[in-house]
Amino acid sequence: MSVRTHHPEPSLSFSDKELFDLAIAWLTLSVAFALLFAPIHRFELSVSYFALMVGLCFVTVGVAFLLHELAHKVVAIEYGQLAEFRADYQMLFLAIMSALIGFIFAAPGAVYHRGRITKRENAMIALAGPITNHLLALMFLPLMLFPGILGVIGQMGVWINLFLAAFNMIPFGPLDGKSVYDWHKGVFALVFVPSVLLAGYVVLFVGLF
């Protein structure tokens, strides 16, 4: 997710506050996805299985989330923006709570960017995140051919990245889709429709295991 504000001087650097927020969001999202995939109310699931799921989510969600936000930051800097990620602690709490009831509201924060910018440039910054998730899903796809843990990582990587791409393309509030929709409805449809169809397919017909 990216949110526009205003001011100067771009560079690809990370403040201590930004690194802290990225780490908290990464860890919280990993736990939230683990709760979604291994619900704690299913008593047949062991503590060790849940711990394994947290570890797998830490890897797969970490790649999906961190590169999504980094893509926003890099493109924003290319457009002369000062850009930095900030976690939204209320949304992180909501991610955990929603995962407990079988859905995940994955809006852990945003890359806030400042500086003079056009609507098109703002939309390109927004698109960078979901497009990155689609590319990552393609990269995880071959791992699904392998047996055992590699196959599970591949399946989770595809599932999580396609879910995040579709979720972030919803044209609502601070989500990426809103910036794209406001700029060009045709481009929005071109990305949103395939994102939703692919995410729907993996959620409904591929599953995780």
9, 18, 44, 69: the catalytic one is 69
Tokens at 139, concatenated = 């990269």
Q: Is 133 left (phi over 0), alpha (psi -120 to 50) or beta?
A: alpha
Catalytic, 69? Answer yes
With b for 16 or more beta-carbon neighbours within 10 A and e for fewer, the 74-109 pattern comes to bbbbebebbbbbbbbeebbebbeebbeeeebebbbb
d(CA 127, CA 168): 9
Residues marked as catalytic: 69
